[in-house]
Structure 1
Amino acid sequence: MNAVLDAVRTDALFLSHVQRSQRPSPEIIRAAVSDTVVRIGEARCAELVAQEFGEHPDCAPDRMRWARHAVSLAFR
């Protein structure tokens, strides 16, 4: 996979409403990524992720790890 595209998808999922506890399907993950990128934009996603890490350093890394793993499975 393309590393830049993976990063954008991961950021978008990180910012989406989808929660790990929902055990979302690949279809839900792909839809959430698409909706978030359309709504926020690629560059703004990166900015907001950085902001979340600054404001919530205790929980942001876990969500990012989950988002990275979920994206890798949903976009194989």
Structure 2
Amino acid sequence: MISIVKDLAAEALFVSDLQPSQCPSQAAVERAVTAMLLLHGTDGCAAEVALEFGDHPDIAVTRMHWVHEELTGVLENRRVAAFH
């Protein structure tokens, strides 16, 4: 179940306007994920990701790598906060 939620969040963050150069905060990442899911829905986010991988695979791979790093950080911060 958690991996499905993380996959949905990854697709939503991928299609957001956030950029690695912005060094977004955890709150900014969470807002971006929520906004994209509300705007595009889960299927729409997945379709946008697929389109980018088809049109610009080299850039899309780099972005998805960044997305997964960001989400890993967000999840780790939530786990740490839950135990304190």
**Both structures adopt the same fold (TM-score exceeding 0.5):** yes
Q: Give the TM-score range, shorter chain.
A: over 0.9
Shift of 1:47: 1.1
1:1-76 matched pairs, under 5 angstroms: 2-76=2-76
The percentage of counterpart residues that share the same residue type is 36
Structure 1 moving runs of 4+ over 3 Å: none
Bigger relative contact order, structure 1 or 2 (CA pairs below 8 A, ≥6 apart): 1
- Which residues of structure 1 form unaligned runs of 5+? none
RMSD: 1.1
Q: Distance in 2 between matches of 1:6 and 1:44?
A: 16
Shift of 1:71: 1.1
Q: Distance in 2 between matches of 1:34 and 1:67?
A: 14
